[in-house]
Structure 1
Amino acid sequence: MRIGVFLPAAGFPGMDPGEVLGAAVRAAVAAERAGFDDVWIAEHHFMTYGMCPSAVTLAGYVLGRTDRVTVGTAVSVLSTCHPVALAEQAAILDRVSAGRFRLGVGRGGPWVDLEVFGTGLDRYEHGFEESLDLLLAALGRERVSGEGERFRFREVTMVPRPARPVLPVVAATSAGTVRLAAARGLPMLLGMHIGDADKAAMVRAYAAAASPGRHASGTADPLDADGPPAVAGHPAQTDAPAVGHMAAGVAYVADTTREAVGALRESLPRWLGPGLAGYRPVDGRAYVPKDPVEYARLLCRLHPVGSPEHCADTMLATIERTGVRHLVLLVEGAGDPALTCRNIARLGAEVLPRVRAHA
């Protein structure tokens, strides 16, 4: 059982980017103090939905400010970076943090980022599998070369290499990504935009698609295991541990559920409205953002937003319904750094012990 915080570095109206990033760092330190197991940092470009354009960079800083928690990226976008460069960055953070860094990757979206960074729409639409396999090879092998359609280069030596194989988590929002993660034996990060029934369906689909002989129950976390499962670029293991999926959600605790829901239904649309509107397609396709008021209502209904008892019961229900025992919680929803730290402290003192006692 693991419970972490998820920090998109949410840009609420009127907040300076430096203030937002500083608040995210303070929230990460507060999460360690409150007893959370890990901290996950999101990556977004050219928008206020998330003001961190490099999750690896901020993760490195947070690792230097903490002592115990695992710090991960949720996620580094493979469609706009070179997989070998990302593997090098992950190896550095793995070495200097004594193994506290965790890499999460995703395909991203058809956004203007692809134009700015020159990777193009084809890389997003058709290149994720090749990018992921090259990343795995660069993380797991001493020498690596590019022999695919989009990456072609002579063999090079990976220096440094991680102290132990790094097993990335993959953000999964489509059936194709579920199948790819299953084929590679990689855990999934399931988004906060879907409920327990949809998460459970994705876990079942993953198990059905998993390669023969690879255990994929979703009940254990690779961080607690002695070695990685056999994936491309890593040595095969005869007793590979189960894949540990992660489920994202929103969490906010108050004295009563009515108070918590009221607070987030007031604050979240102030962030979601301009934030979601910041997504710009790279081509002429239409994009209609979610309605921020309705999305806020959905998030409050699906996730642990309420009294301490309600929050704990909601988290336990998610664990039971999905089989996922690693939860990562967005804690910045109130839109105020002081309230975020208070929320983290109350979750740590009043909710996490209840969950851990019954999970």
Structure 2
Amino acid sequence: MRFGIFLLAARHPGQDDAAALARTAEAAVAAERAGFDDVWLAEHHFMSYGVIPSATLMAGHILGLTSRIHVGTAVSVLSCRHPVALAEEAAMLSLVSGGRFRLGVGRGGPWRDLEVFGTGLRRYEEGFTESLDLLLAWLRSERLGWDGEHFSFREVPVVPRAAEPPPVSVACTSPATEAVAAERGLPMILGMHVGDEEKAAAVARHGDPAAPNISAHLAQVADTRDEAVRTLLAEMPRWLGPGLDGYVPVDDRPRPSRDPVAYTRRLCDLHPVGSPDDCAAALAATAERTGIRHFILLVEAAGSHRATLENIARLGEQVLPRTRTALS
């Protein structure tokens, strides 16, 4: 079993960006102290939903603040990045941290990021597989040239090069991306928007039940389930609603609006929210239904620095041991 925390670095009401980033770093340090195995950082652009524009840069900061815990990106968006530049950063972080860096990558969405960074819709819609293959080839080579549809360059040396490349995972929200990951022997990162049944189906389609797939969850511990749900319904929509408005398509395609209160209720129904026993039982049930043994928990939904630190401490002390016992 592996347990990590998942940090959006959302700007909570009354916070500025500096406070959100400082809170995120302190949460990562608290997770190491609480016994978690890893910290995973989301990457977003031009929105309050998450104020980390470079998950690798924030990972480097947190690796410097910690000594044991692994740090990963969930995810670095390949549609907005040159895969060689991202691979170089991943190799460097792995080297300077003694192998504690993990790279999660994803396709991203059809958002205005593509316009700002100049990569365009075509890279998003058609270029993910080539981007992933180039990134993997760079991490595994001593020298590399490339002649593809989206990238082309003469052979150059790979510097810096990690003799053991950092592990790479792929965020999967469709059977097509699941197949891309499976064909390359890569584990999946499965998000919070789907439940156990959908995750079990994704694992089955992926075809390798032993793959170290990762399951993301909202997690909020309290003395009772009612208390945890009340807290999230009162606090989560306050930062979630304005944040969701940041997802702006780069073209004229419609983007259905999402009710933040209804979405919070759905997340409470899907994920470990409640007493320590409730949370442990929910995680153990997911493990049994899906075969997944690596969980990353969104811990900052209650909307304050104090609440985040308390949630991390209680999860580490009261939920993780119960879950490990239930699955032993």
TM bucket (normalised to shorter chain) is over 0.9
The match for 1:192 is 192
Q: Give the gaps of 5 or more residues in structure 1.
A: 208-215, 219-242
Residue 267 of structure 1 deviates from its aligned partner by: 1.0
Percent identical among aligned pairs is: 61
Which is worse superposed, 266-275 or 194-203?
266-275
The match for 1:140 is 140
1:324-356: CA deviation from partner (whole Å, max 9, x where unpaired): 000000000011011100100000000001111
Residue 27 of structure 1 deviates from its aligned partner by: 0.2
The match for 1:65 is 65
Residue 162 of structure 1 deviates from its aligned partner by: 1.4
The match for 2:209 is 217
Asked whether the equivalents of residues 99 and 163 of structure 1 are also in contact (C-alpha less than 8 Å), the reply is: no
Secondary structure of residue in 1 paired with 2:124: helix
Where do residues 40-79 of structure 1 align in structure 2 (5 Å cutoff)? 40-79=40-79
Asked whether the equivalents of residues 91 and 165 of structure 2 are also in contact (C-alpha less than 8 Å), the reply is: no
1:133-176: CA deviation from partner (whole Å, max 9, x where unpaired): 00000111111112101100001110111130223100000111
Asked whether the equivalents of residues 10 and 239 of structure 2 are also in contact (C-alpha less than 8 Å), the reply is: yes
Residue 289 of structure 1 deviates from its aligned partner by: 2.7
Residue 290 of structure 1 deviates from its aligned partner by: 1.7
Amino acid at match of 2:233: R
Asked whether the equivalents of residues 90 and 162 of structure 1 are also in contact (C-alpha less than 8 Å), the reply is: no
Asked if 1:322 corresponds to 2:287, the answer is no
Amino acid at match of 1:349: E
Where do residues 32-47 of structure 1 align in structure 2 (5 Å cutoff)? 32-47=32-47
Asked whether the equivalents of residues 140 and 166 of structure 1 are also in contact (C-alpha less than 8 Å), the reply is: no
Alignment partners' CA distance in 1, 2:314 and 2:28: 15
Could you tell me the TM-score, scaled by structure 2's length? 0.99
Asked if 1:28 corresponds to 2:20, the answer is no
Amino acid at match of 1:166: P
The match for 1:228 is none
Secondary structure of residue in 2 paired with 1:135: helix
Alignment partners' CA distance in 2, 1:133 and 1:244: 20
Alignment partners' CA distance in 1, 2:104 and 2:284: 24
Residue 194 of structure 1 deviates from its aligned partner by: 0.4
The match for 1:344 is 312
1:284-336: CA deviation from partner (whole Å, max 9, x where unpaired): 11112321111000111110110000000000001001100000000000110
Residue 252 of structure 1 deviates from its aligned partner by: 0.6
1:175-231: CA deviation from partner (whole Å, max 9, x where unpaired): 110010000110000000000000000000110xxxxxxxx223xxxxxxxxxxxxx
Alignment partners' CA distance in 1, 2:95 and 2:165: 11
Secondary structure of residue in 2 paired with 1:356: helix
Asked if 1:290 corresponds to 2:258, the answer is yes
Amino acid at match of 2:225: T
The match for 1:159 is 159
Asked whether the equivalents of residues 94 and 100 of structure 2 are also in contact (C-alpha less than 8 Å), the reply is: yes
Where do residues 240-259 of structure 1 align in structure 2 (5 Å cutoff)? 243-259=211-227
Asked if 1:98 corresponds to 2:98, the answer is yes
Amino acid at match of 1:264: L
Asked whether the equivalents of residues 252 and 306 of structure 1 are also in contact (C-alpha less than 8 Å), the reply is: yes
Could you tell me the TM-score, scaled by structure 1's length? 0.90
Alignment partners' CA distance in 2, 1:24 and 1:124: 29
Alignment partners' CA distance in 2, 1:287 and 1:347: 35
Residue 55 of structure 1 deviates from its aligned partner by: 0.2
Secondary structure of residue in 2 paired with 1:103: strand
1:15-64: CA deviation from partner (whole Å, max 9, x where unpaired): 10000000000000000000000000000000011110000000000000
Alignment partners' CA distance in 1, 2:124 and 2:50: 20
Alignment partners' CA distance in 2, 1:263 and 1:54: 30
Asked if 1:260 corresponds to 2:252, the answer is no
Asked whether the equivalents of residues 94 and 165 of structure 2 are also in contact (C-alpha less than 8 Å), the reply is: no
How many pairs align? 327
Asked if 1:278 corresponds to 2:278, the answer is no
Alignment partners' CA distance in 2, 1:184 and 1:19: 39
The match for 1:221 is none
Alignment partners' CA distance in 2, 1:290 and 1:157: 47
Alignment partners' CA distance in 2, 1:163 and 1:270: 46
The match for 1:230 is none
Residue 272 of structure 1 deviates from its aligned partner by: 1.6
Asked whether the equivalents of residues 251 and 329 of structure 1 are also in contact (C-alpha less than 8 Å), the reply is: yes
Alignment partners' CA distance in 2, 1:269 and 1:127: 34
The match for 1:211 is none
Q: Give the gaps of 5 or more residues in structure 2.
A: none
C-alpha root-mean-square deviation of aligned residues, in Å?
A: 0.7
The match for 1:115 is 115
Alignment partners' CA distance in 1, 2:163 and 2:267: 38
Asked if 1:311 corresponds to 2:270, the answer is no
